[in-house]
Amino acid sequence: MTANHLIAPTAEVRQALADGKPVVALESTIITHGMPFPDNVETARQVEADIRAEGAIPATIAVLDGKIRVGLDDDDLDRLAKADDVMKCSRADLSFAVSSGRPGSTTVAATMMAAEAAGISVFATGGIGGVHKGAEETFDVSADLDELGRTPVLVVCAGAKALLDIPKTLEVLETRGVPVIAYGTDELPA
C-alpha cells in the first residue's frame, strides 16, 4: 500500500509511533459484523482498555470519511458501531470503500495492510480466516492467508476460526512461508 495520504492516524497513534512506543493494531469487523449494538462497542472499548493496561496504544482501524483511520476516538467507535450498510473490507474492497466514501470495517487482511502503511508492526485479533471446508471444490480460501504471507506485521490471535478446515489452513500458511507459533499447545488452535 503506497497511498499514505489516505492513512489517517490519530494524534495519539502518530505521537506514539514517533516516540517509539508500542502500538497495537486492531481490526474493526467485530464491531460492524460480529456483534449487535451495544455489545460491539463495549467489546471494542474493553479490548482497547486491555491494551492500554499493558502499556501499549490501541489503534482500531476502519474506513471513515474516505480515509483509512488508524485509531478511533469514542465518537468514531459509536458511529461505526451504529452504522448501517458498513462494507466488510478485505484487500479487494479497501480501495472501493475509500474512493466511494462508504464506511468500512477491516478484516485481518485489510488491517494488516493499513497497519504496515501506518508503521505499526503488531496486530491483535480473535481469529484469522483460512481454508473453508470443501475448498477443494469451492476454492473458498480467505485473503487473510495471502496477506499473512506478504505483509510484515506480527499477528497475535487465538488461531483460525473454528468453522474452517484447520489442517488445510495450516498447510496453506506453511506454503506461504508464514511462521506459525502456538503458545501452550502443539496444535494450531481453533
Q: Domain-by-domain residue ranges, the chain?
A: 4-127+144-160
Of 27, 48, 116, 147, the catalytic one is 27
Of 147, 161, 168, 174, the catalytic one is 161
Rounded to two decimals, what is the model's pTM? 0.94
- 161 carries an active-site annotation: yes
Domain 4-127+144-160: state its class.
Answer: alpha beta
Indicate left, alpha or beta for 64 from its phi (over 0: left) and psi (-120 to 50: alpha). Answer: beta
pLDDT digits (tens, 9 = 90+) for 139-184: 999 999 999 999 999 999 999 999 999 999 999 999 999 999 999 9
- 21 carries an active-site annotation: no
Q: Are strands 23-26 and 87-89 parallel, antiparallel or unpaired?
A: unpaired
d(CA 86, CA 124): 22
pLDDT digits (tens, 9 = 90+) for 41-64: 999 999 999 999 999 999 999 999
